[in-house]
Amino acid sequence: MGVADDEQIHAEEFGDEKIVRYDRAGKYATIFRPNQLRPMFYMNLRAAVLRAVEMHHEGGTIHFGKPGGNRFDREVRKLLNDVGGGSDG
């Protein structure tokens, strides 16, 4: 699945799963690698933050500073600091 013009990748895990935000809709979703037959799931900010932190603890990457991601970044950093996971950005 390619990156749409209004899609920002905020977190990813080994290229298999990505947390994205669609700018026009202001919605977060989790998407999977194209050859996986799992659907895309929309989620609210809190669910996106929780999944991103899980991905971080499983060795994934969080991309801080993406357009439209100020609240996401702030909430992820807060949660990482609360659980002692540190932050990457």
Residue 18 and residue 35 in contact, taking contact as beta carbons nearer than 8 Å: no
pTM for the whole thing?
Answer: 0.81
pLDDT in tens, 61-86: 999 999 889 999 999 999 999 876 55
Q: How many domains, in total, are found in the chain?
A: 1
pLDDT digits (tens, 9 = 90+) for 16-55: 899 999 877 778 999 887 766 777 889 999 999 999 999 9
51 in a domain, yes or no? yes
The angle formed by the CA atoms of residues 88, 18 and 83, to the nearest 5 degrees, is 40
Which amino acid would we find at residue 49?
V
Q: What is the DSSP letter of 47?
A: H
Residue 77, in any domain of the structure: yes
Q: Is 11 a domain residue?
A: yes
In a domain, 43, yes or no: yes
**The predicted structure's pLDDT at residue 58:** 93
Q: List the structure tokens of 60.
A: 């994934």
pLDDT score recorded for residue 85: 55
- At 9 the pLDDT is 92
Residue 87 inside a domain? The answer is no
Q: Residue 52's domain spans which residues? A: 7-82
CA end-to-end span of the chain? 26
CA distance 45 to 28: 7
- Please indicate, yes or no, if residue 47 is contained in any of the structural domains: yes
Task: Let me know if residue 55 belongs to a domain.
Answer: yes
